[in-house]
Structure 1
Amino acid sequence: MRSVILIDDEVFARKGLCSLIPWNDHGYQIVGEASDGEEGLELIERLQPDLVITDIRMPVVDGLELIRSAKEKNLTRSKFILITGYNDFSYAQQALRFEVDDLLLKPIDEDELTETLRRVSSKWEKAAVPAENENRRALLLERLLQGKAEESTAQEAARLFGFTRDAEFRYVIVERNDASSETEEEAALALEGWKRSAADFLAALGQGDPPMPFQTHNPYAFGFLADSGRLRAYAGSWERFAEGLVRHVSKAAADSSAVPRVYLGHSVRSAKDAAMSYRSVFESLPHKFALADQTVIFSEKTGSMPLQYRDLDPKWTDVFMESLEEHDVNAAHEAVSHMFAEFRDLRFAPESIHACISRFALGVAETIGKMEGNEAEVESLLGVLHWNKRPMTLSGLRRVFEDFVRDGSDYMASLRKDKAKGGISKVKLYIETHFRENISLKSIAKQFYMNPVYLGQLFRKTYNVYFNDYLLNIRIQEAKRLLRQTDCKVYEVAAKVGFSNPDYFVTQFEKVERKTPMEYKNSLIARS
């Protein structure tokens, strides 16, 4: 029995409606009455009736205002019938805007009221069938995908989903990638837009009536079971079907950076075996980096492509870190290119890619710490460390990583400049205490996190001497002391002042002193 409340400021009008028809015979029961819209709204909130029959013109709160208030309070369970004594089109327009279910003109006769109630009852019945079927379809799909479907379940699914006979089936996943700037709430809303776009696409192929339930796997991906009988527009080609789906959902992404990827599970000959396709499509998801240039990925192909759990060639770690510390943009770009080529060509597993990226990021953070900087100043660091929290293409990941490389390198360069203003004296002191070792402009620049060219220029400007000349002069002066005060051989002196090649030492000594080391030592003996 459907519950009804009557709202009219004229008591005789309400009593007349109560006695006009045998309400119970039509499946309705009057459970309350109100004399104005304000009282009626309170009654609606308290009784939650199935049907509200209200006059339009009433004191305090009129019928249209009553309905608007009920909608605002989310009292959407009730259906509304408006009664008016005015055959005014503007009232009908407003009634439509508030989604009123029917409109009655005074005076109301028995047949008109009975027919109106019949139409409203019909709306409930029509709404109940799709809702019941939708719940049943969702339950059937869940059973199919879990592998719990008997033949009878598959037959019922074929009827409810409208599957064609002798069709093959694939589970399809549509994934939104590279939407890194979205919040989870924004991503979920955007995914709903993609679902609507996909539903329109399937409906155009005849696979949307009855509508296929979508499975939401996370805020960035949804899936559905597709049957080959709907591929006539694509000459039965699953690949062309998937490409068409990509084009269609891409329209929904026109104002977004999101990039679609479509994955298709194994083809199965019966809906009863849909679980096999469902499992295989999830196994194909990690292969998108190895198949970076493919928008559509089939599980049959990925099944013969084992992923590799490995590390990068160590040389790229050294090249990468060195290029960042030297602020060499071209060298850093080349290193990143080689790294990502290895990720793709050697079929790195996503876990291995994440480990490599994280190691580089943490290495940069550690270097910044040694330079007495704050890694939090590099805002893109967190994005690189947590990139795997959202789906990304390989090219999208590379853009994120390159942004981090640029930010990290720029920050280290700014730290170097700050340190260089008061640090050149430390470089000079380092030379004077380590000249006996195998040092060079490049090795010292690395030690002090400075660009070698910049360090050389700064040293020349500060001390009015070239770095190499200063280092050579210190070494030669120490060599002369050893020749004067010890009986070391020339090759021993060379080693003690940082020359690994005695012949080169002799050449450099002669360049500075205009005589060889032996000539210098002999001249000392001659004076004795």
Structure 2
Amino acid sequence: MKLLMVDDEPIEREGMRRILSTAFPDLEIYDARNGYEAIESVKQHRPDIVLMDIMMPGINGIEALQTIQEIHPTIRGVMVTAFDTFDYARQALRLGVKEYLLKPSQRSEIIATVETVIEQCKEESRKQKASMHAERLAETELVTQLVFHHMHDVQLDVLMESVGIQSQPAFVLVVYLPEPTEALYSLIKERVHETEHALVGALYGKQLPLVVFRNSTVSYRSQAMPFAQGLIALLRDKADVFVGVGEQVEDLADIAVSYQQAVIALASHTQSVRFRFYEENLNQFEGTDTTTVRQKEKQFFDALDQGDWQEIERLFNEFIDEQEHQNQPLVYSQQRVLELVWVIQRALENLGMVTPTAYLSFQSQNYRQLRAEVQGLLEQISAHYEQHLNKAESNKVQQVKRYIEEHSHEEISLDALAALVDFTPMYLSKLFKDKLGVNYIDYLTTCRIEHAKQLLKNPELSLKEISYEVGYHEPNYFSKVFKKVCGKTPSDYRKQLISR
């Protein structure tokens, strides 16, 4: 922590330095002889605290502090003066000054005052870190729920509000990292937040989904292409990355479609083609209605979401029949079918089911052989899926459910819950909803609101106390969530209880 002393008397500055450096050996101490020097010192050192003498030549301490707060709004000021007048006190209060030292001050008074301000700074820092942590959790949770269709409308509104965004046109860009690390994830996240208005999801498996909001001043491709190229260039010396880009959607509620398209585009990447637009995949289906292609791709994802491998096999056979009926070259159909298999593998990676990239073991001589070869690939992948699924016993979902009920007042993330039962976050999210019919965020919210209802019966508890007690660090946010779930504010709910 840094402190700046401002006083035109050298003896005063030296005496204050000795007292403070002895009492607070870890404190970085700077000094200035007047208000002008103080302003320059703040620009250079960005101190947390300033001890400001009021009466100095040039500009006085009040004027200097006013300029300093324009430069560094979070700095905390302590006025040091022998002029204990109401007018100076009133001006200082307007600047947020709450601590004073009157000359001459006792050593104990100086130490106690500075110690109080240091603790205030530390508490503010803790609150900021907690707020940033909550925002990061909200960001990754929002992306997770959006791209995997696990979001309830009420919770969607709440999470969007918590990260300060509104529903608007956007598209999904999926980054594929063959060897993902936390360092690469942090690097990508930092760059994305610097260059784009976007939400960064969690790194699950080898894929990182980004929800990118449209810049209305440029076209969709003019925004997406340099962004993808920039990410590839950023990681060129660190990792072989590939990027799939989905199409723009007008509403965030439909962003899962763009995510699925990005995964499809990603499945077609090669060593020479590092990023690919979904529409380029569509262009490959010559002579085929693109609407039909989109519908079929959606059917694949829906069947995969349900774990319905019979339906997946039926869809593959139907697709191969259509290719044969259209007299497509066999080698073309083989590539299209293989890309669909890769799409399934890419989608399953988010559930922690990583399998070697599938290839056709031999060159099919006819469509009958192609069907048999594809059936063999699907059997291998579905067997791996079932083996993975067998680990997901209902008692583990119940274990997560009980943990949420017992710890709903704490900060609970999908990552933490997944680690509890040794699942991937995406897999747990899917399994929780499949088994209980509700996603974990909605269930966590329900637990918190039910707890809040009980606490609201106690008139001695303030709404702020209740919000902290049930797990919300921001009372206004708690009130908004409560109103969305219950249809009325906590205050109105309490009034209704009292009237009864």
What TM-score bracket applies, with the shorter chain setting the length? 0.3 to 0.5
TM-score by length of 2: 0.35
Structure number with bigger Rg: 1
